[in-house]
Amino acid sequence: MIRLFFLIFLVLALPIKSEAVTKISDVIKYVVINDGIDRAVEVYSNLKRNNASEYDWDIDHLDALVDELLKEQYVEEAVAMAALNIAAYPTSERVYASMGIAQLAKGDTILAIEYFDKSQYIKHNHRSITWLHQLLKGDKYERKSLGDGGHVYAYSPYEMYDYNVISHPEAEGVPVDKVIQWYEKAAQIPQLYNLTISKNDKLIAEHYFKYDQGIRTDMREGTEAFVAMLLGVAIKKGKIAGLGNSIGSQLREKGLSGSAASLSFKQLVSGKSGLYVSEEQLKNWRKERYKLSFASRLSPSGSSFQKNPVEGHLLAAAIQEATGVSLFRFAKVHLFHPMIIYPTYWTNDDLYFNYGTEGLCLYSREMVALGQLILNMGQYPNGGQLVPADWMAKATTKYTDLSDPDSDRHYLRDHGYGYGFHIYQSKGHKVIIAQGSGGQNIVAVPSKRLLITTAADQFDLSGEQAILDLIFEIVDGN
């Protein structure tokens, strides 16, 4: 009895729970509908900063508010609320899914897919995958049986599919013994992550020495090849008048001035801007927040071949300004999504300009898909002519001679640079490479219908030459 009385006393002695705090979502909904988006953002920020303890900031309520606003046809308001949620909870997959739904209601399917993809990237979730399947259910996105064996490979964590037809080496005229020898040599290169070989537009061999298919690698300078391809698309679509135009007309409002502003698209894409950058200057440029302003302090000297991150960054930024969207998004709309590949990361600076000589991160299978685009001169199966064929012919023509006639490596005796691509000749065959430091390579040999990709440790350059040697052994052995 005493024990029961004591328990009753304790319960009665507990403080009476105060009335639940107001849900911030209720406040913001009222403000956004009655006073507009700008005022809602202001109120949200002020309350979060000054009165956070007085409101319930549960992500469930904030997330549900986006759906409520959409149901009541407040689309712009829903997009704004989704943006606030992303700012408040940048590591939650749910807020990106909500933004995807809001963008879909707004009519921007491409951007909606990007947000659903981002949501999936953070954490696999039913909401995003359901929307992605619904958005990509058209014929060209369906799982298909390709090739004599009906093979198709499902590869990504987002349940998307790549369309690389898989075949057997012998069926494509490549002896299995040779393939085994190549991979045994590849295994002896510590820096090498993976190696794929395709012949006659069919993947015949792949192996992952480190990590697996789920790792994306930075293409480093190989990124330049795709910037060059996007330049060709932008010119074709009339966004850029021509190669002779100066980049200054596109970038002056962003802070580019001085003699660097007079550089033409052609000078930059061919590596002949003469824009020399010392090691010390390069270190400072990487630290600089407004990189275009830093570039304004550099002066071109002559027209000799000179590849550096500053030059590539200027080119990428100029294309971005000319097209009116980020270079990454331009690539998604005109290259990646028509090919049904979904890269999620391309490094950008503080002004949101994607880097032109590094930062495009790709899965191995995405490298293979883009290699097919190069091998077929801008045409992709089921995707059409994504990059103009005449532009690809120009981009893969040697304009700058980088040959070393005395080299003991035959492929270095006839080596040059086109528009973003390294061009080699090996035993009478033209070899086109999107080539990045450390061993990131997409290698196309059109005359042999041969495609090779490698990914490696970008911070350890000691294996770079061994990887190139192996690549040309494979080229010559096919």
Predicted structure pTM score: 0.72
- Average pLDDT of the residues in 454-473: 95
Q: Is the pLDDT of residue 185 over 90?
A: yes
Q: Is the pLDDT of residue 450 over 90?
A: yes
pLDDT score recorded for residue 146: 37
pLDDT score recorded for residue 383: 66
Question: Which of 127 and 371 is assigned the larger pLDDT?
Answer: 371
Q: Is the pLDDT of residue 133 over 70?
A: no
pLDDT score recorded for residue 247: 94
Q: Is the pLDDT of residue 439 over 80?
A: yes
pLDDT score recorded for residue 457: 94
pLDDT score recorded for residue 290: 79
pLDDT score recorded for residue 420: 96
pLDDT score recorded for residue 139: 46
pLDDT score recorded for residue 118: 77
Question: Which of 246 and 51 is assigned the larger pLDDT?
Answer: 246
pLDDT score recorded for residue 58: 79
Question: Which of 151 and 42 is assigned the larger pLDDT?
Answer: 42
pLDDT score recorded for residue 10: 39
pLDDT score recorded for residue 158: 36
- Average pLDDT of the residues in 221-231: 97
- Average pLDDT of the residues in 390-405: 96
Q: Is the pLDDT of residue 177 over 70?
A: yes
pLDDT score recorded for residue 20: 57
Per-residue pLDDT band at 164 (split at 50, 70, 90): low
pLDDT score recorded for residue 190: 95
- Residues of the chain within CATH 1.25.40.10 domain(s) are 23-135
Q: Is the pLDDT of residue 5 over 50?
A: no
- Residues of the chain within CATH 3.40.710.10 domain(s) are 154-219+327-338+355-478
Long-range contacts of the stretch 452-455 (C-beta < 8 A, 24+): 452/195, 452/196, 452/197, 452/198, 452/371, 453/194, 453/195, 453/196, 453/364, 453/367, 453/368, 453/371, 454/192, 454/193, 454/194, 454/195, 455/192, 455/193, 455/194, 455/217, 455/364, 455/367
Q: Is the pLDDT of residue 40 over 60?
A: yes
- What's the per-residue H, E or C state across the chain? CHHHHHHHHHHHHCCCCCCCCEEHHHHHHHHHHHHCHHHHHHHHHHHHHHCHHHEECCHHHHHHHHHHHHHCCCHHHHHHHHHHHHHHCCCCHHHHHHHHHHHHHHCCHHHHHHHHHHHHHHCCCHHHHHHHHHHCCCHHHCCCCECCCCECEECCCCCCEECCEECCHHHHCCCHHHHHHHHHHHCCCCCEEEEEEEECCEEEEEEECCCCCCCCEECHHHHHHHHHHHHHHHHHCCCCCCCCCECHHHHHHHCCCCHHHHCEHHHHHCCCCCCCCCHHHHHHHHHCCCHHHHHHCCCCCCCCCCCCHHHHHHHHHHHHHHHCCCHHHHHHHHHHCCCCCCCCCECECCCCCECCCCCEEECHHHHHHHHHHHHCCCEECCCEECCCHHHHHHHCCCCEECCCCCCCCHHHCCEEECCCCEEEEECCEEEEEEEECCCEEEEEEHHHCEEEEEEECCCCHHHHHHHHHHHHHHHHCC
What CATH number has the domain spanning 154-219+327-338+355-478? 3.40.710.10
Q: Is the pLDDT of residue 245 over 60?
A: yes
Q: Which of 235, 265, 232 is nearest to 249 (CA)?
A: 265
Q: Which of 180-184, 198-202, 207-211 has the lowest mean pLDDT?
A: 207-211
Q: Which CATH architecture has domain 23-135?
A: Alpha Horseshoe (1.25)
The mean predicted confidence, pLDDT, of the chain is: 84
- Average pLDDT of the residues in 131-140: 64
- Average pLDDT of the residues in 254-268: 90
Q: Is the pLDDT of residue 59 over 90?
A: no
Q: Is the pLDDT of residue 454 over 90?
A: yes
Q: Which of 77-86, 265-274, 358-367, 466-475 has the lowest mean pLDDT?
A: 77-86
Q: Is the pLDDT of residue 385 over 70?
A: yes
pLDDT score recorded for residue 253: 86
pLDDT above 70 covers a percentage of the chain that reads 88
Place of tokens 């020399």: 276
pLDDT score recorded for residue 222: 97
